[in-house]
Structure 1
Amino acid sequence: MEYNTPQPASDFVHPPLACLMVVLTGKIFPERTDHRCDNERYTGDGLPQAVNLLPPGVESQWRWRYTGDFTDSTHYQLSPALVSKVAEEAFDLDPARIQFPVRYYDQSSPEVIKTLAALRHELVTGGPGGRLCAESLANVLVVQLIRQMSNWQGSGGGIRGAGGRLPRHTLQAVEEYIHAHLDQNISLADLAGVAHLSEFHFARLFKQTTGLPPYQFVIHQRVERAKRLIAAGQLSLVQIAIEVGFSDQSQLNRHFKRVVGITPKRFN
């Protein structure tokens, strides 16, 4: 991902990429644009909070006119490996069958826009569980793109094996791993490896079993450990934040208040 801060008028050619390029426009956009990609052309007003989708291997030309405002956007590059993995694991599809047509200023999928915005929030703000959160959101994003913005016409867009829960012993093993590595940057691949599942299926089954996505569960466990350390009264809040895996006291304060309802100081 790359977040582009507000830019004035521009005229440039984007070379072909090996990845699937998704561009989410920001709140402010110029009045006049001219874009071309793979024999598809868009000429007209730019739209805020919209999706531009560029398939791999094609050159694109971008031009917008300066009208007194500036534009900002976020660019996401999704690797063919990720798209193929989700196509196979979630839909039992041959990845070669999945094609993404060019789309300009598409506002038809609020779900895709919401997920892209959540990924942008992680990019701009960071925070505990950021890696785990971004990996989970990337899987969700590709599912949504295949369902809603590809050439695939599935029967209702159902995910293969959508039911089910993690076995009790598997969930216990994952929880033990989280508790043992709570102060570290836990990845989705780490947790899926403990469960002997693919990342996509693990994230789905974990949420169905616990009610929380993996990254939110990790944050809750960090807050629970912080509560115990605060009650023990042997460490400062700065020390506790680092001990439980938050980068600083401000992140501890923010997540503690969100989960518990009060600040760490008031809890103490």
Structure 2
Amino acid sequence: MTRTVQPLKSLHPLTPDDRLRHVPYAFRHTSATLGWNGLRVEYNTRQPASDFVHPPLECLMLVLTGEIFPERADHRCDDARYSGDGLPHAVNLLPPGVESRWRWRNTGDLTDSTHYQLSPALVAKVAEQAFDLDPARFHFPVRYYDQSSPEVIATLTALRRELVTGGPGGRLCAESLANVLVVQLIRQMSNRQGSGGGIREAGGRLPRHALRAVEEYIHAHLDQNISLADLADVAHLSEFHFARLFKQTTGLPPYQFVIHQRVERAKRLIAARQLSLVQIAIAVGFSDQSQLNRHFKRLVGVTPRRFA
């Protein structure tokens, strides 16, 4: 059965929260409560055939199709039209401030997709930090079922995995991936004015005192949901350049470095034999014991129980 939804009157572009009232199905997974700055990700494996008009959004929106895809899709937005079979593992891109219509029917009357919303503030910040680019000098055209950028698709897939599995990288990982995603979108999917397109350099490595300050901050807040902005502030750098320099200096992206530190602290707590594995997992910043087990075995080679 196809669900038809008429648009509600809206005087302003919709926020990510407001948008949910216009979508004719619920999302099982959402980043709304995870504190991800500048980014909202929503996913559900069971979305019925639908026909609805989507009011303008305040954010840049992308939809990544999954394994199950529409056998017939009809979409429109401004002058862009699409009518035909949907494609798996493809990107639909909708710029802010435009109304769109989404209609599809599919085998089994169900399909799956992941929805991403990037705030204008995040897009503008990365454009300036990474490219020294005025946001007024580029825009994103409407795209339907675009498979031209494997890099964008891989980053979107990684964000979905982080959302669904509740990865231990959490907020820090998601925000790092969001920065990478915006860079990829500006490079590969925007209409950019001017010849400037290279990433602005910011030196090769973090200064020793900045790296020491960041490490001290991580160790002091290891049990908390550390954000990319927190670490960049400590280093007195933009988020984009901090993430690049940190990886060039340590060999690891910030969220992987944090996971390594959590496992190292877990090793010391296990050796002390004063806390249960559940307590240790929480004390070092993992959401549960299963995350501790998975990453401990990956980095140490044995499970925490065997290590003990």
TM range (shorter): over 0.9
Alpha-carbon distance, 1:48 to partner: 0.6
- The CA distance in 2 between the partners of 1:77 and 1:40, in whole Å, is 20
- Does residue 118 of structure 2 align to residue 78 of structure 1? yes
Give the corresponding residue for 1:52. 92
Give me the whole-angstrom Cα distance separating, in 2, the residues matched to 1:27 and 1:133. Answer: 24
Give the Å deviation of 1:129: 2.6
Q: 1:179 aligns with which of 202, 219, 229?
A: 219
TM-score, reference length from structure 2: 0.84
Task: Report the count of equivalent residues.
Answer: 268
Give the superposition deviation at 1:67. 3.1
After superposition, the Cα gap between the structure-2 partners of 1:229 and 1:62, relative to the gap in structure 1 and judged at 3 Å, is: same
Q: Is the 8 A contact 2:64 2:89 kept in 1?
A: yes
Alignment map for 1:192-207 (pairs within 5 Å): 192-207=232-247
SS in 2 for 1:259: helix
Letter in 2 for 1:236: S
Structure 1 window deviating more from structure 2 (161-170 vs 210-219): it is 161-170
Q: Deviations over 1:63-109 (max 9, x none)?
A: 11233352111111111100000111100111111110110000010
Matches within 5 A, 1:112-127: 112-127=152-167
Choose from 111, 116, 129 the match for 2:151. 111
The residue number in structure 2 matching 1:231 is 271
Residue 128 of structure 1 and its aligned partner are, at CA, apart by 2.3
Which amino acid in structure 2 is aligned with residue 233 of structure 1? R
- 1:56 is paired with a residue whose SS is coil
Give the distance between the partners of 1:156 and 1:50, measured in 2 at CA.
28
Kindly state the Cα deviation for residue 158 of structure 1 after the two structures are TM-superposed.
Answer: 2.3
The 1:162–1:148 alpha-carbon spacing in structure 2 relative to 1, beyond 3 Å, is farther
2:108 maps to 1:68: yes
Aligned twin of 1:41: 81
Whether the aligned pair in 2 keeps the contact of 1:6 and 1:72 (CA below 8 Å) is yes
- Cross-structure match for 1:128: 168
Query: 2:225, 2:252 → 1: CA distance?
Result: 18
**CA separation of 1:154 and 1:47: change in aligned 2, threshold 3 A:** farther
Percent pairwise identity: 88
* Partner AA of 1:197 in structure 2: L
Indicate conservation of the 8 Å contact 1:89/1:160, yes or no: yes
Q: State the alpha-carbon separation in 2 of the partners of residues 9 and 243 from structure 1.
A: 45
* 1:15 has 2:55 as partner: yes
Letter in 1 for 2:165: T
2:108 is paired with a residue whose SS is coil
Stretches of structure 1 lacking an aligned partner (at least 5 in a row):
none
Give the structure-1-normalised TM-score.
0.96
Aligned to 2:45: 5
Q: CA deviation at 1:237?
A: 1.2
Cα deviation 1:40-80 (Å, max 9, x = unaligned): 10011100110000111110001112333521111111111
C-alpha change, 1:198 and 1:174, in structure 2 (3 Å) is same
Structure 1 segments of 4+ aligned residues over 3 angstroms from their partners: 153-157
What does 1:218-257 align with in structure 2 at a 5 Å threshold?
Answer: 218-257=258-297
CA distance in 2, matches of 1:78, 1:183: 28
Measure the CA separation in 1 of the matches of 2:121 and 2:275: 45
Residues 69 and 106 in structure 2, CA contact (< 8 A), matched pair in contact too: no
* Matched-pair contact (CA < 8 Å) for 1:15–1:58: yes
Give 1:162 shift: 5.8
> Where do residues 253-268 of structure 1 align in structure 2 (5 Å cutoff)?
253-268=293-308
Pick one of 231, 235, 251 that aligns with 1:211: 251
Q: Are 2:281 and 2:287, in contact at CA under 8 Å, matched by a contact in 1? A: yes
Which region of structure 1 is more displaced relative to structure 2, 22-31 or 120-129?
120-129
**Does the 8 A contact of 2:65 with 2:89 survive in 1?**
yes
CA drift at 1:17: 0.7
Rounded to whole Å, the distance in 1 between the matches of 2:69 and 2:92 is: 13
RMSD between aligned alpha carbons? 1.4
Does the CA-based 8 Å contact 1:129-1:186 persist in structure 2?
A: no
